[in-house]
Amino acid sequence: MIAAATVHAPYLTGWPDRAQKPDLAATMDGFARLSEAYRAAEIDTLVVVTSEHIVNLSPKMAPPFMIGCGDRHPVFPERHFNLPVEDIKGDAAFAKALTRGFYDAGFEPAHSTELVLDHGTIVPLHLMKLAEAVSVIPIVVNSIFAPLPSLGRCAEFGRTLGKLIDELGGIRRIGLLATGGLSHSVGTPGVFDVDRDLDRWILESLLAGDVDAVCEIADAELDAAGNGTHEIRNWIVVAAASQPRKPVTITNIPFAEGWNMGVHQLLWEDL
């Protein structure tokens, strides 16, 4: 099963001109290479492990995991980021089968027939031009309203996801995608900072196939690296689902001036 992980920052589409030209070119080339890999694998279904930004979750309701079980997924309009607003095709039957499988396996994710997608999902779909080509099953991991699912629990969730896809996928050709940034901040004074050492260590661990090492990072350390860093939960889910395979680096820009963030992309190639 082919899998990838990528940044989903809305600046990529909203403010492309703020980046240095080489960084913009490398980023777009990365999305093109990921798209090409998914197309070469002839996927028809993409399970997207993603974060959302207060379009489904809120302080009054924030499940650790939520699966989008709709035939179509509405899109939260973010035209200021130059993103499309058309609904995204889902796969209700497979999404519900996955949900039931999780319950049988000891996880109880929330499920929604009207899960709303935002830039966390739409940016990569749009830049890979995949929205029309595949059915999307979004799985939202709560990375914004504490308490959050532990990193270890995310890894277990991912291993279960990998097994369920193998068991329940049937004739579908399924790809996996994690979206989210490594160290970054949203809405706090540290918005222009990244923790390059932490990012490098996370990437080296994932490239070595050592998901468990990444799971040992304390939430306080993620907080110190920036509140957005909690999105690495999505990467952990997909990395665990892809074990024992190891990924390769598609894009590694430790800090893109102008966007003021790192741009990272990994690919777990299809066997």
Residues that bind other proteins (CB under 8 A): 53-55, 58-60, 76, 144-145, 185-189, 191, 227
What are the DSSP calls for 110-172, one per residue?
A: EEETTPPB-HHHHHHHHHHT-TTTSEEEEEEE--SSSS---HHHHHHHHHHHHHHHHHH-TT-
Shortest spacing between CB 213 and other proteins, in angstroms: 28
Q: Which is nearer to other proteins, 229 or 242 (CB)?
A: 229
What is the nearest approach in angstroms of other proteins to the Cβ of residue 207?
30
CB of 127 to other proteins, least distance (A): 21
Q: Name the residue nearer to other proteins (CB basis): 133 or 186.
A: 186
Say if residue 64 is exposed, middle or buried (CB neighbours under 10 Å; 0-12, 13-18, 19+).
Answer: buried
- Report, in angstroms and rounded to the nearest whole number, the Rg of the chain calculated over CA atoms: 17
Residue nearer to other proteins on the CB measure, 199 or 231: 231
Nearer to other proteins, 11 or 107 (CB): 11
Spell 208-244 as b/e; 16+ CB within 10 A means b: ebebeebbebeeeebeebbbbbbbbbbbbbbbbbbbe
Task: Kindly state the smallest distance separating residue 145's Cβ from other proteins, in Å.
Answer: 8
Distance CA 128, CA 19 (A): 19
Q: Which lies closer to other proteins via its Cβ, residue 145 or residue 201?
A: 145
Residue with smaller CB distance to other proteins, 187 or 244: 187
Q: Contacts from 220-226 at CB under 8 Å and sequence distance 24+?
A: 224/195, 225/183, 225/194, 225/195, 225/198, 226/183, 226/184, 226/185, 226/186, 226/188, 226/190, 226/191, 226/193, 226/194, 226/195
CB of 142 to other proteins, least distance (A): 12
CB of 237 to other proteins, least distance (A): 21
